[in-house]
Structures are given as structure tokens and as C-alpha cells.
Chain A
């Protein structure tokens, strides 16, 4: 199949040979958990629906190391958690760092402390 923009070419079924780039885990989970024909098996399990999974995942990724292992680092960009996306917050960050430097001569300590607080909030 040929289309103008090569980035838009569908990459073939799933993560098979036709697809050098494995499909995004979220896309797969969304389909194999939430979709597909639902028939009663002999073994009954209540599958988490994708929204519950998401909540769960938020809890899981509260452990930063686990999250980094599975390649999830959204909290570093999520302004809701860090505010680091917005110019304003970046500026505040810089200003606070400068104040810290002026007051203590140590800009690093605050950064470490604030990260710990963020992960604590997620739990």
C-alpha cells in the first residue's frame, strides 16, 4: 500500500514479522481486554476493564523504577503532577532554584525532595 506520508502506513497485523515496531502496549491491552468476543469460559475471572487497569497502572507506576522499566515516564511530562510542561512552572522552578542557591548554596537538595513528595502523592 502506498500513501504519501510513510509514517501513516499501517504496519501490518499485530507485532508480527510485517511489523518491525511492536504495537503500543496500551493499544493491545485496550483491544484484547476490552474487546474481542466475550464468551463465558469455564474458568471465571473478572477482567479489569481498561479504566480500572489505568487506575491500577497509576498505582503501579507510583514506583518510579517499575515504571521506567516498562518505559513509562509520563509523570515527567504530566503537568497535573509536575507542572513541568508549562513555561510558567519552568520559570518558577528556575526562580526557586535560584532562591535555594542564594539561601543555602545548594540547589540539588530541593529537587530530590520534591520528587519524593510526588511519588508519595501517587500512592
Chain B
């Protein structure tokens, strides 16, 4: 399928058995039908995309466009997630594009052992994201209000004193929340195969005003997901000032890349 003006966008790598069934009915970043390219016991889920939109220059330009990026990121994730529903999968990072199917087969053959090891690692496991949000500002303001008479002095000195109290209690609240986040992470690691703490998403991405004190993601045996969720519930009950949010199950995005494919 080496036609001028098209490229092959890779979504995921899986075992070759049932690969055609697993990709059937899925549509990708260009709205194209997703299909399987097979080499030996491995297969890649790919789609044929126009280089006018997904070629080198176009990609470079389009990745800067937030609307384009959002739409394509969702489409890429939808394909990877669709395949993950029917078995083990290695998500390929967004915007990995090849010249033709032959190049994809070449890759599958060349890196066969690394892909095989990665598939072993994620088989029967899912990724769950857990975030902990704290609102120490609200807490700090509350404490400051409690200390102050309603008809409080509004002079400069009163202002400075109040500001200092606010900053101190805010700092304490943050320290408390960070300690709780460590405890939550340690506890969750006990019901997970692996886990990672990632930098907190910027507020512009998380869309939340509260402080993200934990942005963790965990690789969990599918049989232990219930236990993991119960642990999250239990943790939330014991951490009064912290809200926990679970996302997923995700395809194992954060753990498939641990195996070196260079």
C-alpha cells in the first residue's frame, strides 16, 4: 500500500491471533477504517492517513493546534481502548507514522522480543489513574475567618496579620495534604503490580482549582481491580480533606513503554 501521499499511522501492537476481529469496526484519527498488519505472531493496528494532514510538516503544524490535537488524541485513544477491550495491547505513542505496511512489518519483526516482553507484562492487567485533590486554600480561609470577629479591624496591621495567618495555615494544610498523598500512594502500591507518580496536571489541563497532591497511575491485575477500588474508597473515608478521583481502566499507556524498544 505504498501510494504517494499516504502514511500508515500506528495505534497499537497486539498478538496476531484475532487481530483482524479486534480491529474491525474501529475508526481512527482520519476517520479511516483501522486494520491489522501482521508479522509472525504479532500484529499492529494501523490506519492509512493522508500526508497532507499527517505528513511531517503537516503534523508539526497541526500538533500546535489545540483543537486538532484534542480531536486526534481522543481518536487515537478510542482505537487503543477499543482494542484493549478484547485483550492485551501495547499502546503506541500518538503520531507514530510509517511510509507503508512493509515498514510496519519490518518493525514488528525487528523488535519482536521487546514487544513480546511488553505484552507479557501488561497481559491481564489494566491501568487505573488515581488523583488526590486538596483545597488547602479553602481550609486556610476558613480558619482565618473563624479567628476574626465579624466586625474586624480593617487597618493595615490587621490586614498584614490576617495575611500572615492565612499563609501559615495554607502552608500547613499543604504539608498535611502532601503527607496524605504519600500515604495514599504507598497503600495503593500494595494492591498494584506497579505504580507511578506523575507531575500534577496543570490547572489548565485538569480544569480544577483544587491542588492536585497526587497524580498516580497504577498497573493492576484485572482480578484485583475490585480490591483496588475498595482500597480507594477506604482511603477516601480516612482522608477527610482530600478528594480522590479514579480514572480508567486505561489501556496500559504508562507501563507498556517500560520495555526498551530502541
Contact = CB atoms under 8 A, between A and B. Distances in A.
B247 A23 contact: yes
B191 interface: no
B125 interface: no
B251 A13 contact: yes
A78 interface: yes
B69 A29 contact: yes
Interface in B207-262: 207-209, 225-226, 229-230, 232-233, 236, 244, 246-251, 253-254, 256-257, 259, 261
Nearest to B79: A14
Contacts of A8: 229, 232-233, 236, 244, 246
A13 B85 contact: yes
10 A-B pairs with least C-beta separation: A14-B81, A26-B205, A77-B209, A13-B81, A31-B253, A36-B93, A35-B253, A36-B91, A54-B202, A41-B96
B91 A37 contact: yes
B93 A37 contact: yes
B205 A32 contact: no
B134 to A, nearest CB: 13
A77 B138 CA distance: 12
Nearest to B243: A7
A5 interface: yes
B250 A31 contact: yes
Interface residues of B, number: 82
A95 B138 CA distance: 21
Given A30-B201, A35-B253, A42 B97 contact: yes
B192 interface: no
Given A5-B236, A57-B66, A78-B203, A37 B95 contact: no
B85 A16 contact: yes
Interface stretch (B16-24, B30-38, B54-62, B181-189): B54-62
Given A16-B85, A37-B92, A87-B141, A57 B253 contact: no
A70 B225 CA distance: 33
Contacts of A66: 66
B85 A86 contact: no
Contacts, number: 220
Contacts of A22: 74
A55 B36 CA distance: 37
A85 B137 contact: yes
Nearest to B93: A36
Nearest to A38: B93
Nearest to B154: A95
B165 to A, nearest CB: 10
A18 B81 CA distance: 11
A60 B205 contact: no
Indicate the member of B90, B94, B208, B236 with the most A CB atoms within 10 Å.
B94
Interface string A69-109: 01111100111000001111000000100000000000000
A93 to B, nearest CB: 14
Interface string B46-80: 00000000111001100110110110011011101
Nearest to A80: B203
A37 B118 contact: yes
B216 to A, nearest CB: 12
Contacts of A61: 204
A26 B201 contact: yes
A3 B229 contact: yes
B80 A14 contact: yes
A115 interface: no
